[in-house]
């Protein structure tokens, strides 16, 4: 049985490891919400199965599933993938699940952020969200990991860390009035430093263009390859609104040093498309006011929204014209890794991609 702690990870000498570090497991949540996923979530379920199977070849996978979808998921997933029944509101475990911290003695704990569905009653995607807000501590309990309840509204996709004291985020998201309007930038930084035991926050101005569902999550714009190296979503098309966003992010990244005093190596990863919702893709949703998926709406497609897990990169296939180049670029950035592409268009229609639907559990000694 896990317990809620009253200290902070910094006080207890725990740190958030980088995604490149060894993992014990990766967790996902089975999609079924029909205002997020079209056609009864069946296309999304196929995509989630493919992602889970690709991960499970190198890392144990747990799939969280509702009671009404349990049998369906169990039949569609390989027997070595664990299926656990749990109540959730939606299937973006990167955001509703725990961030994990470890110490140098072989211990692991979870950080349970406050979750308000990407904006609460001001800008949130749905209501209620209490089931998702309870997911992190339930995961911790199943793993027998003690946890910290952080006094901060935050989604896991809004941060990246290098495991050596540096955190990356966007002002667009963490300073959005729908998250922690009563806190200043310095107060938010202080909470990040306490609850992830990091020393430096690198603030990028904006997230990926058209990423309105999350208010600009950093995991759509960049990824941390390893300490001192980042992967940046990039376009050379000066007519694309993404161009100025990427240029500004590059300027910030190239002019700052990380927590260890290193200048960052910046790898440019071309964005797909631009990608837009087709007539067929706009159909089959249960419509609600908070989510608008009209024909021609630009999608926040990004190859940077990949998962690193135990020497494997799992990235979304999004654009037939650019998928091969994205894979080649990722292979050059990660020469000792297997780079595996999984169709991600049906995940993108829901508002995110492979990194957004996964949450890694770091290994302990």
pLDDT for res 290: 52
pLDDT for res 365: 78
Section 73-101 average pLDDT: 98
Section 54-73 average pLDDT: 98
- How many other CB atoms are there within 10 angstroms of residue 190's CB atom? 14
Alpha carbon separation from 169 to 157, 294, 364 (Å, rounded): 9, 29, 26
Rounded distance between C-alpha atoms, residue 62 and residue 84, angstroms: 7
Q: Under a CB-based contact definition with an 8 Å cutoff, are residues 284 and 307 in contact? A: no
Q: What is the pTM of this model?
A: 0.97
Active site residue 356: yes
Kindly give, in sequence order, each residue whose CB lies less than 8 Å from that of residue 329, ignoring residues fewer than 6 positions away: 267, 268, 269, 270, 303
Q: Which of 29, 49, 61, 356 is catalytic?
A: 356
Token pair listed for 11: 């006080």
Least confident piece of the model among 69-83, 102-116, 147-161, 274-288? 274-288
Q: Under a CB-based contact definition with an 8 Å cutoff, are residues 96 and 133 in contact? A: yes
Section 285-299 average pLDDT: 79
Please return the burial class of 287, using the count of CB atoms within 10 Å of its CB with bins 0-12, 13-18 and 19+: exposed
Peptide bond preceding 274 in cis form (omega within 30 of 0): yes
Section 175-200 average pLDDT: 98
- How many other CB atoms are there within 10 angstroms of residue 207's CB atom? 29
Rounded distance between C-alpha atoms, residue 68 and residue 75, angstroms: 13
Task: Report H helices in 129-175.
Answer: 130-133, 135-142, 171-174
Counting DSSP H helices and E strands in the chain, the numbers are 12, 17
Residues 126-150, buried b or exposed e (16+ Cβ, 10 A)?
A: beebebbbbbbbbbbeebebbbbbb
pLDDT tens digit string along 162-176?
999 999 999 999 999
């Amino acid at each position: 049985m896990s317990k809620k702690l009253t200290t902070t990870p910094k006080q207890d000498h725990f740190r958030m490891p980088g995604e490149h570090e060894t993992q014990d497991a990766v967790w996902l949540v089975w999609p079924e919400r029909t205002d997020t996923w079209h056609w009864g979530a069946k296309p999304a379920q196929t995509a989630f199965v493919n992602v889970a199977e690709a991960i499970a070849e190198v890392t144990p996978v747990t799939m969280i599933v509702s009671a009404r979808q349990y049998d369906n998921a169990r039949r569609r997933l390989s027997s070595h993938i664990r299926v656990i029944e749990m109540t959730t509101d939606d299937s973006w475990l990167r955001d509703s699940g725990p961030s994990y911290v470890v110490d140098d003695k072989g211990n692991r704990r979870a950080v349970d952020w406050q979750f308000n569905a990407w904006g609460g009653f001001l800008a949130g995607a749905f209501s209620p969200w209490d089931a998702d807000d309870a997911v992190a501590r339930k995961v911790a309990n199943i793993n027998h990991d003690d946890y910290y309840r952080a006094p901060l509204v935050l989604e896991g996709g809004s941060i990246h860390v290098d495991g050596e004291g540096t955190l990356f985020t966007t002002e667009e998201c963490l300073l959005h009035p729908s998250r922690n309007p009563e806190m200043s930038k310095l107060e938010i930084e202080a909470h990040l430093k306490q609850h992830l035991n990091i020393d430096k926050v690198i603030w990028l101005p904006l997230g990926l263009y058209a990423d309105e569902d999350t208010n600009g999550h950093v995991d759509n714009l960049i990824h941390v390859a390893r300490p001192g190296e980042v992967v940046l979503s990039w376009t050379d098309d000066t007519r694309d609104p993404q161009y100025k966003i990427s240029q500004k992010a590059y300027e910030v990244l190239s002019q700052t040093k990380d927590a260890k005093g290193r200048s960052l190596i910046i790898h440019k990863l071309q964005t797909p498309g631009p990608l837009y919702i087709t007539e067929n893709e706009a159909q089959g949703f249960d419509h609600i006011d908070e989510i608008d998926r009209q024909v021609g709406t630009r999608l926040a497609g990004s190859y940077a929204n990949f998962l690193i897990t135990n020497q494997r990169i799992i990235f979304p296939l999004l654009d037939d014209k650019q998928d091969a180049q994205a894979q080649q670029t990722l292979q050059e950035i990660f020469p000792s890794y297997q780079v595996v592409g999984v169709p991600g268009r049906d995940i993108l229609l829901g508002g995110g991609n492979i990194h957004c639907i996964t949450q890694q559990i770091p290994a302990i000694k």
